[in-house]
Amino acid sequence: MKIRSVEPIEVAAPAGESSSPWSSTVILVRVTTASGAVGWGEAPTTLMTAPVRESVREVARFYEGRELEEHVAALRDFEVYSFYRSRSMEATSALSAVDIACHDLVGRAAGVPVSTLLGGAIRTRVRAYSNGWYSDCIEPGEFADKARAMVRSGFRALKFDPFGDAYRTLSPEGLDRAVARVAAVREAVGHGVDLLLEYHGRFLPEAAVRAGRALDAFRPRFMEEPVLPELCDALRGFRRAVATPVALGERLLTAADFESFLRRGLVDILQPDITNSGGFTYGREIAGVAAAHGAPLAYHNAFGPVQTAATLQMDAVLPTFFLQESFEASWPEWKRSLVRGYAIESGEFAIPTKPGLGIEVDERAVERYRSDVMEPIGPEPPWVIAGTWVRRPKDAPPAPPASRRPPPRRP
């Protein structure tokens, strides 16, 4: 079971097909053994598509030519050589994808799901919350209509960003609009549905606190990344001023990062991302930190289907599992076609029990959508659900994936 090759493969939305929600590109990683066995991993993009793709090639040098059973040793060797790993999302994303693929291969060879390799599943199903459902929503009534539709499909938890194009500061009018959107959704779905409010880590502390106090009234289950990440120490004051729990973690890369945030009183609910925080190998360490602090875990999951499959295997063994993010109900067709083997029904995932990640990747679809483009720039950042900052004309063609277009000017 010697590792023969580690290959990054970018797939992207075809011309003419919208890719809201996240994201228009996906980085898959195919690890192939000398016998021809294949395992799959995934890494995030979000305006770092090309750097992550190249970082996979750096990581590959530590794995290629080694026995598959030595894959954790290869990861530890990369730690020694990669001086900036603990602060480089490109490095940890590449490492995560390869780690996921190696676990997929080991599980397939052993005939067991990855959850068995991690100690054994303690649950067979997980409750999910829907994200991405509110594309092209600006007015409160638009949010309400789409929220009702998601609840009719079976979801009992919805996450959304009500802040429009506000960034860093939040005007009184901007806060009023956010309150109106959240109020409309709460009225539409009632109090039997959990609301999860996404700030996208974009506010100065004063603006975040004003928003938090105003939105507490709607009893959200959590508020995600309320302040700019570089101002994370302000989260202590936010938690004192705002009643709703704070969730974060998609930008934290190591178990030590998560432990530090918990110890300093900066977070209530942890949201690691298996595709940038070290895959399953580091995922076990993060789960241990969360269990030691009694902290709920709600894995971030906003990219592609291999990520979802890997995350579900992690969910199966978490002592403090809370909720699972899902964009699946709002995916474009090209992304749906990449993988078979799991499904979401009535707001829940059944955890795959077939060997490895429990999925089959459609390599014909992978080849059909193979690409080397960067994510398009504008008119909204790639972390925005399309049509929530800028109203998209219904008859307008999608923006081409032109990596050299200048970013839009802000007033």
Q: What is the mean pLDDT of the chain?
A: 94
Q: What is the pLDDT of residue 401?
A: 43
pLDDT higher than threshold 70 for residue 399? no
Residue 92 placed within a domain: no
Structural domains in the chain (count): 1
Pick from 208, 228, 225: nearest CA to 216: 208
The stretch 103-125 carries a mean pLDDT of 98
The one-letter amino acid code at 207 reads A
Q: What is the pLDDT of residue 403?
A: 37
* Catalytic status, residue 200: yes
Q: What is the pLDDT of residue 186?
A: 98
Q: Which residue range(s) make up the domain with 136?
A: 119-355
- Residue 290 CA to residue 270 CA, distance in Å, equals 8
CA dihedral of 335, 124, 314, 246, whole degrees rounded to 10:
90
Q: What is the pLDDT of residue 185?
A: 98
| Structure-token pair, residue 254 | 């190591």
The stretch 326-333 carries a mean pLDDT of 93
Residue 379 placed within a domain: no
* Catalytic status, residue 71: no
* Alpha-carbon distances, residue 184 vs 21, 73, 144, 297, 353 (angstroms): 22, 52, 5, 28, 40
Rg (CA), the chain: 20
**Catalytic-role residue among 71, 103, 191, 200:** 200
Q: What is the pLDDT of residue 382?
A: 86
Residue 130 placed within a domain: yes
Return the residue matching tokens 């190591």.
254
Residue 324, by phi and psi: left (phi above 0), alpha (psi -120 to 50) or beta? beta
Q: What is the pLDDT of residue 226?
A: 98
Pick from 318, 357, 322: nearest CA to 30: 357
pLDDT-based confidence at residue 20 (cuts at 50, 70, 90): low
Model confidence pLDDT, tens digit, residues 190-239: 999 999 999 999 999 999 999 999 999 999 999 999 999 999 999 999 99
Model confidence pLDDT, tens digit, residues 360-372: 999 999 999 999 9
pLDDT higher than threshold 50 for residue 400? no
The stretch 348-359 carries a mean pLDDT of 98
Residue 240 placed within a domain: yes
- Residue 223 CA to residue 202 CA, distance in Å, equals 13
Could you give the percent of the chain with pLDDT greater than 90? 88
Give the end-to-end CA distance of the chain in Å, rounded to a whole number. Answer: 57
Residue 49 placed within a domain: no
Reduced 3-state DSSP string for 113-147: EHHHHCCCCCCCEEEEEECCCCCCCCCHHHHHHHH
Residue 114 placed within a domain: no
Helices (H), 242-278: 255-263
Model confidence pLDDT, tens digit, residues 141-191: 999 999 999 999 999 999 999 999 999 999 999 999 999 999 999 999 999
Secondary structure class of 330 (helix, strand, coil):
helix
Model confidence pLDDT, tens digit, residues 75-108: 999 999 999 999 999 999 999 999 999 999 999 9
pLDDT higher than threshold 90 for residue 396? no
pLDDT higher than threshold 50 for residue 407? no
Q: What is the pLDDT of residue 150?
A: 98
Pick from 115, 122, 194, 133: nearest CA to 326: 133
Residue 190 placed within a domain: yes
pLDDT higher than threshold 80 for residue 27? yes
pLDDT higher than threshold 70 for residue 336? yes
pLDDT higher than threshold 60 for residue 411? no
The stretch 64-71 carries a mean pLDDT of 98
pTM: 0.95
The stretch 379-402 carries a mean pLDDT of 74
The stretch 269-291 carries a mean pLDDT of 98
The stretch 37-45 carries a mean pLDDT of 97
Q: What is the pLDDT of residue 21?
A: 56
The stretch 276-281 carries a mean pLDDT of 98
Residue 280: CATH number of its domain = 3.20.20.120
Residue 274 placed within a domain: yes
Q: What is the pLDDT of residue 18?
A: 63
Pick from 12, 10, 89, 31: nearest CA to 357: 31
